């Protein structure tokens, strides 16, 4: 082989390797803005036509992996009140950083949650007393990482997480006494905490209370957590309201309780804390932590979680269109992949759907999910997951069946305000569908905190955006049909899991540089079709193209 041929061969091999790695190396989380949906909608249509509770997006800047058991969020509101999100963009002070089970965008309530908060100089126990000012300009938020400076304490807080665990990093700007407070957010006063100085752990639980049936009665399971510090505790204690019970190692049975670890910090000191969570036991929370974050490398965990999100988001590849539409699109994908949440431990254990303090175990290699939307995301959001995360969707369907066996029930209501534009397709007026849909995508969704038109409903409203921006929508419940509009991008490619979709890729494109316009002709694999396709068309792969036929 000549030198030129050898060089060409090496270059070709390198190109093939780099091409094969392109999907994994694509940094798509840079488009995600988790603060979208954390404020009231700015859409005049929503403001004028819906009651105030439905104006709020009710999303949180959740840090976790897709469908994580516990998400991590800054907290601007205390407690677990119904309809009150832990975080609002307009909140001017942070009460702490919450391990939350808030079902984002749903007018529900948090449960089994707990809050971690660093304070300096002296112990502050009440939420209003310990709260710190912060500013959004110093805030960094992605699906895999959150950070901000607590101005009252000159303390930088950084958070990353995995499916069932969290990793917190506290950096102190000056020499002082530092206290890390842990509070079970039990409004019923049923929380429990224990300190183990030898293991450098504070662990406990927050019992879950029923919201609807048998309201305020125990639901039969709890949110369990184990907080482990890398550094030995210089001191510790519990507190009840404003009473400091120094060196006490256990507390329970009242509201306004907590525990703390105290450290003597120097300028530039860093305190690391890892947190495992579970819905079955403290031992399972500890096992989840050991399995998911066995090391003390914060950056490693952050990088791994970023890769998980990039892989998940890369299921849909976009070309053309406006830059801000990429932010809207991939943020909507992120919101669509937060729920339902993982409910089983790494060993498969999960609580009985009806509570009763019973524990079941799902088969090895599978995950049990819960917190499905009460609205029609089973037909929209889960339809999206069937395309972009079919392995997870399969376990979600199995989880629904297991819930039914345990006395559960299936939600099935429809939000027609999101579906109606696609009905014009059935009236042979696809241009009207496209005009209405693209107007909603342009004007009712934005890249700011008020950028979701009303409650996100556990990702339902976001899933509507993802489907509509691609140019198709699953209108009819239980049907395998997708009504068509046209994409707001020049090209959309669904990179499908070949275990479920032998066609591998499904490509959608427009025959024009202007993606904002309406099209009157749809072609599937070069053949004109009505403005509807079937799930089987996507499963087998192919090319969907929109053009304009001169009339």
pLDDT in tens, 109-167: 999 999 999 999 999 999 999 999 999 999 999 999 999 999 999 999 999 999 999 99
Looking at residue 375, what is its pLDDT?
67
- The answer to whether the beta carbons of residues 478 and 380 sit under 8 Å apart is no
Which phi and psi (to 5°) does residue 161 adopt?
-165, 170
Rounded Cα distance, 35 and 31, in Å? 12
3-state secondary structure 472-506: EECCCCCCCEEEECCCCCCEEEEECCCCCCCCCEE
pLDDT in tens, 387-404: 999 999 999 999 999 988
CB-count exposure of residue 518 (10 Å: 0-12, 13-18, 19+)? middle
Residue 463 and residue 332 in contact, taking contact as beta carbons nearer than 8 Å: yes
DSSP string, 119-157: EESS---SHHHH-EE--GGG-EEETTEEEEEETTTTEEE
CA neighbor of 322 nearest in space, from 546, 515, 512: 515
Q: What is the pLDDT of residues 335-367, one digit of tens each?
A: 999 999 999 999 999 999 887 789 999 999 999
Long-range contacts at 127-136 (CB < 8 A, ≥ 24 apart): 127/78, 127/95, 127/96, 127/183, 128/78, 128/95, 130/95, 130/96, 130/181, 131/93, 131/94, 131/95, 132/93, 132/94, 133/92, 133/93, 134/74, 134/93, 134/94, 136/35, 136/89
Asked if 239 and 125 count as a contact pair (C-beta separation under 8 A), the reply is yes
The pLDDT-based confidence of 376 (bands split at 50, 70, 90) is: low
Calpha distance 533→430 (Å, rounded): 14
At residue 135, φ and ψ (nearest 5 deg) are -130, 145
- Residue 412: band (very low, low, confident or very high) from pLDDT cuts 50, 70, 90: low
- The residue ranges of every structural domain in the chain are 23-28+313-547, 66-296
What is the reported pLDDT for 49? Answer: 77
Q: In CATH, which superfamily holds the domain spanning 23-28+313-547? A: GH92 mannosidase domain (3.30.2080.10)
Name the DSSP class of 99.
E
Q: How many other CB atoms sit within 10 Å of the CB of residue 139? A: 14
Q: What is the pLDDT of residues 1-47, one digit of tens each?
A: 444 443 334 333 333 333 333 344 589 999 999 999 999 998 888 88
CATH assignment of 66-296, given 2.70.98.10, 3.30.2350.10, 2.30.30.100, 3.40.50.300? 2.70.98.10
In tens, the pLDDT along 487-533 reads: 999 999 999 999 999 999 999 999 999 999 999 999 999 999 999 99
């Amino acid at each position: 082989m000549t030198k030129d041929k050898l060089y060409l061969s090496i270059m070709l091999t390198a190109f093939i390797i780099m091409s094969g790695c392109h999907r994994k190396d694509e940094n798509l989380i840079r488009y995600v803005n988790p603060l979208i949906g954390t404020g009231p909608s700015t859409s005049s249509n929503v403001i004028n036509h819906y009651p105030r509770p439905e104006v709020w997006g009710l999303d949180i800047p959740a840090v976790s992996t897709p469908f994580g058991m516990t998400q991590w969020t800054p907290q601007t509101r205390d407690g677990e009140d119904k309809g009150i999100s832990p975080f609002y963009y307009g909140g001017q002070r942070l009460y702490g950083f919450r391990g939350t089970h808030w079902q984002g965008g749903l007018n529900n309530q948090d449960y089994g949650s707990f809050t971690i908060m660093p304070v300096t100089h002296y112990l502050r126990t009440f939420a209003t007393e310990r709260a710190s000012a912060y500013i959004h300009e110093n805030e960094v938020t992605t699906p895999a990482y959150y950070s901000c400076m607590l101005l009252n304490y000159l303390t930088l807080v950084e958070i990353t997480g995995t499916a069932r665990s969290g990793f917190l990093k506290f950096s102190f700007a000056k020499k002082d006494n530092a206290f890390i407070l842990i509070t079970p957010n039990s409004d019923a006063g049923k929380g429990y905490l224990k300190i183990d100085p030898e293991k450098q752990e504070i662990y406990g639980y927050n019992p879950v209370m029923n919201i609807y049936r048998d309201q305020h009665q125990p639901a039969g399971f709890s949110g369990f957590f184990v907080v482990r510090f890398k550094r030995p505790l210089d001191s510790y204690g519990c507190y009840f309201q404003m009473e400091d019970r120094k060196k006490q190692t256990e507390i329970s049975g009242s509201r306004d309780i907590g525990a703390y670890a105290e450290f003597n910090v120097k300028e530039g000191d860093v305190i690391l804390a890892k947190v495992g969570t579970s819905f079955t036991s403290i031992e399972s929370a500890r096992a989840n932590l050991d399995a998911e974050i066995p090391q003390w490398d914060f950056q490693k965990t952050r990088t791994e979680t970023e890769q998980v999100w990039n892989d998940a988001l890369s299921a849909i590849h976009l070309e053309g269109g406006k830059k801000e539409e990429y932010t809207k699109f991939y943020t909507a994908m992120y919101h669509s992949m937060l729920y339902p949440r993982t409910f089983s431990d790494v060993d498969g254990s999960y609580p009985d759907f009806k509570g009763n303090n019973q524990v079941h175990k799902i088969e090895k290699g599978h995950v049990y999910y819960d917190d499905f939307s009460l609205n029609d995301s089973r037909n929209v959001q889960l339809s999206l997951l069937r395309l972009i995360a079919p392995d997870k969707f399969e376990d979600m369907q199995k989880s629904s069946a297991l819930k039914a066996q345990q006395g559960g029930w299936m939600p099935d209501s429809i939000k027609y305000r999101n579906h109606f534009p696609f009905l014009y397709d059935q009236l042979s007026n696809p241009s009207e569908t496209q005009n209405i849909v693209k107007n909603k995508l342009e004007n009712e969704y934005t890249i700011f905190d008020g950028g979701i038109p009303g409650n996100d409903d556990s990702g339902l409203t976001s899933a509507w955006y993802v489907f509509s921006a691609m140019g198709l929508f699953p209108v009819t419940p239980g049907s395998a049909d997708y009504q068509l509009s046209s994409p707001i991008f020049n090209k959309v490619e669904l990179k499908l899991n070949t275990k479920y979709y032998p066609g591998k890729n499904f490509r959608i494109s427009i025959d024009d540089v202007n993606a904002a316009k309406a099209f009157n002709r749809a072609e599937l694999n070069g053949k004109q079709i009505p403005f509807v396709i079937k799930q089987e068309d996507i499963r087998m792969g192919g090319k969907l193209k929109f053009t304009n036929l001169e009339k």
